[in-house]
Amino acid sequence: MKKYIFCIAVMAMSVFSQVVNASLMISPTRVVFDERQRTAKVFLINNGSEAKTYRLGWKEKRALAKGGYQDLAPEQAGPWKLSELMRMTPRQVYLAPGERQVVKLALRRKQGMRDGEYRSHLLFQALPTENPDQSVAIGISLNMILSYSIPVMYRKGVDVPQVTVSSAQYTSNIHGKPVIAVKLKRSGAASALGKLTAHWQPNGKKEWTKVAIANNYAIYPEVDEASVELNILQGQAIRGSGQLKLMYTGQEEYRDTVFSQRIFNVIAQ
């Protein structure tokens, strides 16, 4: 019986998390200050059906080569921590269903700052809602504290980073699904942001077909070589032998930049 109740609780929490994750819309999902910009705005919209309160703060994170982040203690962030230079208003927001709120960010630069890219992550932490009837059926409280974060950066005296597609391999992931495993090398003091696309041309054909894409793929300064697995688009396939063209092209502030383009010979089993 206890095992049965536990399974129901897990299923309910899964559904609840998905609902909450879909309830907060954040725009933009990253903020970049250049040397002339001092202020920025982030828009929050409650897209859910219940009122929510969010507490704002800062989180220090280290990007990982295979994607995602590792949380850091403030003292582990090193000299490129941005949070101590930022001010935000408000620090807590209450959003009724459909309501919008503007969060204002202000950058206070210091004299003698080193050239480089400073970064911290703006954290939106959902506070528990008081709903005593929410979990009566299973006897377990589902009031979870969920959080969202977006990167906020300040670039001082940095050039456009250099990114190269170093390898691409058609393979299978741990679930047995076909993917294109790509490695990218980055150099320079700034992060990169771009669209990674793969096109396939079977031997004997002239046309290229787009078979995979990853939008808004970022590589941060702490990552020299990044790894990413591109899922094959629905309805597309790589069969036999041919050429695989990988392109990493800039987005947002890098929208006119072609970081890298390479063609690889591939034999698909």
Report residue 239 as tokens.
């069969």
pLDDT value, residue 131: 58
Q: DSSP 3-state assignment of 71?
A: strand
Same domain for 131 and 207: no
Same domain for 136 and 200: no
Same domain for 248 and 192: yes
> Of 105, 127, 156, which closes a domain?
156
Are the C-beta atoms of 120 and 86 separated by less than 8 Å? yes
Q: How is residue 74 annotated by DSSP? A: G
Residue 149: inside a domain:
yes
Q: Please identify which residue in the block is written with the tokens 């630069």.
A: 109
pLDDT value, residue 1: 45
pLDDT value, residue 268: 84
Q: How many independent structural domains does the chain possess?
A: 2
Same domain for 190 and 102: no
Residue 175: inside a domain:
yes
List of the chain residues with pLDDT < 70: 1-22, 130-145, 269
Residue 205: inside a domain:
yes
Helices (H), the chain: 2-21
Same domain for 171 and 146: no
Whole-angstrom CA distances from 262 to 57, 197, 206, 248 are 41, 11, 17, 9
CATH number for position 98: 2.60.40.10
Residues in CB range of 148: below 8 A, 6 or more apart: 24, 26, 123, 124, 126
pLDDT value, residue 18: 35
pTM of the model: 0.84
Same domain for 70 and 144: yes
Distance spanning both ends of the chain, measured CA to CA: 48
Domain of residue 37, residue span = 23-156
Residue 4: inside a domain:
no
> Of 124, 156, 188, which closes a domain?
156
> Of 115, 130, 156, which closes a domain?
156
Same domain for 149 and 172: no
> How many whole angstroms separate alpha carbon 225 and alpha carbon 148?
26
Whole-angstrom CA distances from 153 to 81, 93, 130, 148, 167 are 9, 23, 35, 17, 29
Residue 57: inside a domain:
yes
pLDDT value, residue 130: 66
Judging by beta carbons within 10 Å of its beta carbon (0-12, 13-18, 19+), is residue 143 exposed, middle or buried?
middle
Query: E strands, the chain, where?
Result: 24-27, 31-33, 39-46, 52-63, 69-72, 86-89, 92-95, 100-107, 116-126, 147-156, 162-172, 178-187, 192-202, 209-219, 225-231, 240-250, 258-268
